[in-house]
Structure 1
C-alpha cells in the first residue's frame, strides 16, 4: 500500500537516494539530471513550514516526492490567475523502479484531490521539457503559458482541483475518515 505524507528531516537520506536513482535513469537516456543538487533538494524535507510530501510504500520506502506551495510563482501567470487559490507543485521525483505502478500519476491525482479538500481551485506546475508537458497532459493538466526565463523555456500548466471520487477507496484509512493514503 502507498501512503502520501508530509516529509520530515528523517526522510532526507531516502529522498536523496530517490533523486540519485532518478538521475541515473535520466543520465542513461542522455537527459539533464538533479544529481548535483540532490542533497539540496532532499533538504527541503526538513522545511519547518512543511511543503514536501513523500509517496511511501508500506511505510518503509520512499518511491516519490513532490513539493506543494500555496503560492504560484508570480512570473508567467496573469494577475487574475494569481488571485485564484491554488497549489503549485514542483520538484516531483519518482523512483524509476516503480514506473509500472505510475507513482507520478498517483502523486498528481493525490495533489488534485488534496487541493480540492483544502479549498483550492487549481493545481499548477511548471516544467522545462516538451516531453513532460505531454506526460502531464495525460494526467489532465493543460498547457496555459510558455515563458522564457533566463536560459530556460518554462511551460506552465494547470488542472482544476477536484475531488476524485474514484480515489476515495484508495484514500480511506481503517477508521473510515479521509486520509492521504493511496
Structure 2
C-alpha cells in the first residue's frame, strides 16, 4: 500500500537513493540530466516556506518524490489563471522501473489537495519533455492549457487538472 508523507531531513538517504536511480536511468537512456534532483534535495535539507517535498512510500521504500507549492504558477500562466487557487507540482522524480507510478502519485495528491483547509481549484504543472506532456494528457487525464515556446529547444507544456478527478473530462483515476 502506498503512503504519501512529507519528506524530511531523516529521509535524505532514501531520497538520495531514489534520485541516484533516476539519474542513472536518464543517463543510460541518453536523456538530459537536469539540476532538478539537487533542487529537490536542497528543498528537503533547507525547507522553504510555502513549498514542501512530498514522497510516496511503498513500505519503507521511497518510490516517488516531488515539490508541492500552494500558490498560483507564474511562468506562462495568465494573470487570471495566476489568481486561481492552485497546487503547483514540480521537481518530480519516480523510480524508473515502476511504470505508471506518476498516475498513482497524482491520484494521491488529488486527495491530499481536497483535504487542505483551503482546497485549490487546480493542480498544475509544467512539463518540458514532449513525451511527458503527452503521457500526462493521454494517460492521466491532465488538460493541456497551452505550450509556451522556448528560444532554444522544445516548448514548455502547461498542464492542469481539477483537484477532484471526477471533474476531469475522461474521469481518469490518475
Give the counterpart of 1:115 among 103, 113, 116: 113
Residue of structure 2 equivalent to 1:142: 143
TM-score by length of 1: 0.79
CA root-mean-square deviation: 2.0
CA distance in 2 between counterparts of 1:20 and 1:87 reads 27
Structure 2: any 5+ residue segments left out of the alignment?
Answer: 167-174
Alignment of 1:159-178 (within 5 A): 159-162=161-164
Q: What secondary structure is seen at the aligned counterpart in 2 of 1:43?
A: helix
Deviation digits for residues 90-130 of structure 1 (CA, Å, limit 9, x no counterpart): 0111012333xx32111111122222222110000001111
- Work out the number of aligned pairs and report it: 160
Residue of structure 1 equivalent to 2:43: 44
Deviation digits for residues 16-62 of structure 1 (CA, Å, limit 9, x no counterpart): 2211211211222211123x66344312123164510011111x111
TM-score by length of 2: 0.82
CA distance in 2 between counterparts of 1:67 and 1:11 reads 14
CA distance in 2 between counterparts of 1:141 and 1:105 reads 10
CA contact (8 A) 1:16 1:39 kept: no
Superposed displacement of residue 163, structure 1: 6.3
CA distance in 2 between counterparts of 1:149 and 1:16 reads 31
CA contact (8 A) 1:51 1:69 kept: yes
Superposed displacement of residue 162, structure 1: 0.9
Alignment of 1:37-116 (within 5 A): 38-46=37-45, 47=47, 49=49, 51-58=52-59, 60-99=60-99, 102-116=100-114
Structure 1: any 5+ residue segments left out of the alignment?
Answer: 165-182
Distance 1:160 1:29, change over 3 A: same
Residue of structure 1 equivalent to 2:2: 2
CA contact (8 A) 1:13 1:42 kept: no
